[in-house]
Structure 1
Amino acid sequence: MTRARTALVLVDLQRWIVDMPWQPIGGEAVTGACARLREHFADTGSSTVVLVRYVRADGADGGVGAAANLLVPGLEPRDGEQLVTKHGLDAFEGTDLHDRLRGEGVSDLVIAGLSTAHGVAATAATAVRLGYGVVVVDDATASVDEAQHREALDRLTALGARTGRVSDFVPARADAN
């Protein structure tokens, strides 16, 4: 039996999305939590990090090079990380994400980003249907209001995803006081 390999999937952390009003935490808090997750997963050396961005298929938003479509500063792709460009809510739909993950032997996904009820939920639901073990990090995602955030998490749990917290993955720092 081979050891499960995990990928961190960070969804839609582009400035125009992050700057929208989010609940129960704001976009900056989501990006901070996602940055902490990324650092932890990158430090393990055995995890895949995938950054997902949304770009309109018709190019009306300026395409992949437009400033609005760039990931927020500090969360740009690094060497060895994957960047997936999607044209809808789901990071699997119309992309080669599933093939990339399977090619790397990934069996489990940790998903965070924006928004819980849209890109995160669509991606997580497809991942469950494709047979991945899925954890949605509930304090590293948000929606337009807290009720929508909770409803999305409840629907994903009913599908077979689990929820977790950043602290489940990122150990507390000894110097944090």
Structure 2
Amino acid sequence: MAGTRTALVLIDLQRWIVDMPWEPVDGPAVVEACGRLREHFTGDGSSVVVLVRHVSADGADGGVTAPRNRLVPGCEPRTGDHLVTKHGLDAFESTELHAVLRGENVTDLVLAGLSTAHGVAATAAGALRLGYRVTVAEDATASVDEARYREALDRLTALGARTARVADLVTAPAG
């Protein structure tokens, strides 16, 4: 569609989060799927990549430099990427994410990361409220159990998001 630009938003791929138990796939599988998305979306040079990390507002978790808050290997920011630090679930709440996306002329978002029922769902709902077209990469996210995973995807679909598998997203034009 003319006039659209897509951003890949990878959410909370930090060691302490990735290492938790997840369903329907484990954290390393989510990271691998996010890596495939990232390679696709950076391959054409026209898409935007945003990495989102969660850090406690009160610094109780050691802040942005604490080892637990580092993004897992392969998910670190690269030249041209944007890094957003959030203190709640929604990556738009009290962050510069919306301004960054508007500055990059982004209209469409592909969301992936952890967890479907928390950071991904809250960020997707925030994006929809702000008028973005949202796609959740359903096999590049997971939740604490499969029921919550399915409920979150169903809720997001009812709000207007679409879901797609990584294989379908990486065979489509990125930007």
- Shorter chain as denominator, the TM-score bin is over 0.9
Residue equivalent to 1:33: 33
Structure 2 runs not aligned, ≥5 long: none
Residue equivalent to 1:47: 47
Residue equivalent to 2:85: 85
Instruction: Give the 3-state SS of the residue equivalent to 2:171 in structure 1.
Output: coil
Q: TM-score, normalised by structure 1?
A: 0.95
Structure 1 runs not aligned, ≥5 long: 173-177
Residue equivalent to 1:64: 64
Question: 1:6-25 counterparts in 2 under 5 A?
Answer: 6-25=6-25
**1:2 Cα deviation from its structure 2 partner:** 4.6
Residue equivalent to 2:144: 144
Distance in 2 (CA, whole Å) between partners of 1:169 and 1:161 is: 15
Question: 1:75-154 counterparts in 2 under 5 A?
Answer: 75-154=75-154
Moved over 4 A (4+): none
- Give the percent of matched residue pairs that are identical in Structure 1 and Structure 2: 74
Distance in 1 (CA, whole Å) between partners of 2:12 and 2:74 is: 14
Instruction: Give the 3-state SS of the residue equivalent to 2:39 in structure 1.
Output: helix
Q: Structure 1 counterpart of 2:149, which letter?
A: H
Q: Structure 2 counterpart of 1:62, which letter?
A: G
The C-alpha deviation readout for 1:8-58, integer Å capped at 9, x for no partner, is 000000000000000000000000000010011010100000000000000
Instruction: Give the 3-state SS of the residue equivalent to 2:125 in structure 1.
Output: helix
Distance in 1 (CA, whole Å) between partners of 2:113 and 2:43 is: 20
Distance in 1 (CA, whole Å) between partners of 2:136 and 2:104 is: 21
Distance in 1 (CA, whole Å) between partners of 2:2 and 2:90 is: 28
The C-alpha deviation readout for 1:38-94, integer Å capped at 9, x for no partner, is 011010100000000000000010000000000001110000000000000010001
Instruction: Give the 3-state SS of the residue equivalent to 1:141 in structure 2.
Output: strand
Residue equivalent to 1:175: none
